[in-house]
Amino acid sequence: MKKLKLGRHRLGDSSSQPKPPRAPKAARSLTLTPLSSPWRLTVRAWRDFIAHWRPYIAVVAIVVVPVNILSLMPSVMADGSFNAYSTVASAFMGLALVYTLAHVAEGKGVPRLKAAYYDSSLAAVRFLLTGALVLVLLLPLAIGVAVYLLGTSAGPGTTITGGESLLIGLVALLPASVSLWWVIRFGLSFYAVIQDGLAPIAALKRSRLLTLGRFWRVAGQVAFMVVGFLVFVFAAYIVTAVVGIFVHQAAVLNAVYLVLLALPGLPLANLYLLKLYRELARDYPLV
C-alpha cells in the first residue's frame, strides 16, 4: 500500500493546497484507532470551554448580540438587506470561532478577538465555498420536506388519514435520508478547511476519508451532540420564560432566547465536532 502523503499547512495559509489521499481499497480492513465515547468527547469539550469561555463567547457575542439588538428595530427589519448582512456576518463569526478553537487545539494559545477575525479571513473564500457545497448536499432533504408538506396539505373538503400521513412521511424520508448520509460523510469538511488548510473539494474528500469504516460510529457521535444541544435549547427556554415574567414583548424574548442559546451552544458544539475531527484524523495524518 502506498504511503499517504499530504502537504502540511498552517491555519489560514492558502499559498498551496494539499490534496487528501485517496481512500485505499482496503481502508475498511485497516485497524483504526478507537474513538472516545460521546460522553468523553463531551467532557473534554466542556473542560475546554470552561478554560477559555471568555474568548470563545466573545467571538460569538460580537456578532450575535448586535444582530439581535438590531432585529428589535422596525426600521432595520424593514430593510430587506438586513437578513443578507446578518447571514454574512454569521458566516464570518463561524469562521472566526472555528479558527479560534483550532488555534487553541494546536497549542498556539488563544488568539485575540481582532486576530481571530482578521487572520481567519484568509480562509474565508474556501470556508464559504465549502459551506455552499454542503448546502447543495441538503437539496434532497429540502425535496423530502416539500413532498411531505405538499402531501399532507389537505384541500377544501378533503382530509388526510393517519395511515396516509405515515405513508407520505416514509416516501419523503427517502430523499431526506440521502442528505443525512451526506452530512455525516462530508460535514466535517469545515474543520479540514481551517485545521489543515485544505481547499473545498479536498476538504470534502478528506471528510469522506476520515469517516470510511466508521460511518455509524460517527453518526452516533453526532446524534449524541444533537441531543446534548437540545439540553441548551431547553435551558435557554427556561431562562427566557423567567425573563418573560418581567418582559412581555415577544420580539425581545425571542432575541434573549437566541443570545442565550448561541453564546454557550455554538462554542460547545464546534468544540465537540473539532475534537471528533482531530481524533478521526489520527489515522490519516497530513505529512
SS (H, E, C) 101-147: HHHHHCCCCCCCHHHHHHHHHHHHHHHHHHHHHHHHHCHHHHHHHHH
Confidence of residue 23 (pLDDT cuts 50, 70, 90): low
| Average model confidence (pLDDT) across the chain | 86
> Looking at the predicted structure, is the pLDDT value of residue 22 above 70?
no
Does the structure show a pLDDT above 60 at 10?
Answer: no
Q: At a CB cut-off of 8 Å and minimum separation 6, what does 53 contact?
A: 264, 267
Q: How far apart are CA 77 and CA 4, in angstroms?
A: 52
- pLDDT reading at 2 higher than 60: no
The 10s digit of each residue's pLDDT in 155-207 is 666 677 777 778 888 888 888 899 999 999 999 999 999 999 999 999 999 99
pLDDT at 286: 80
pLDDT value of position 76 = 78
Q: Out of 2-16, 26-40, 83-97, 159-173, which region has the weakest mean confidence (pLDDT)?
A: 2-16
Q: Which three cell numbers stand for residue 161?
A: 388519514
Q: Whole-angstrom Cα distance, residue 262 to residue 272?
A: 15
User: What pLDDT is stored for residue 155 in this prediction?
Assistant: 62
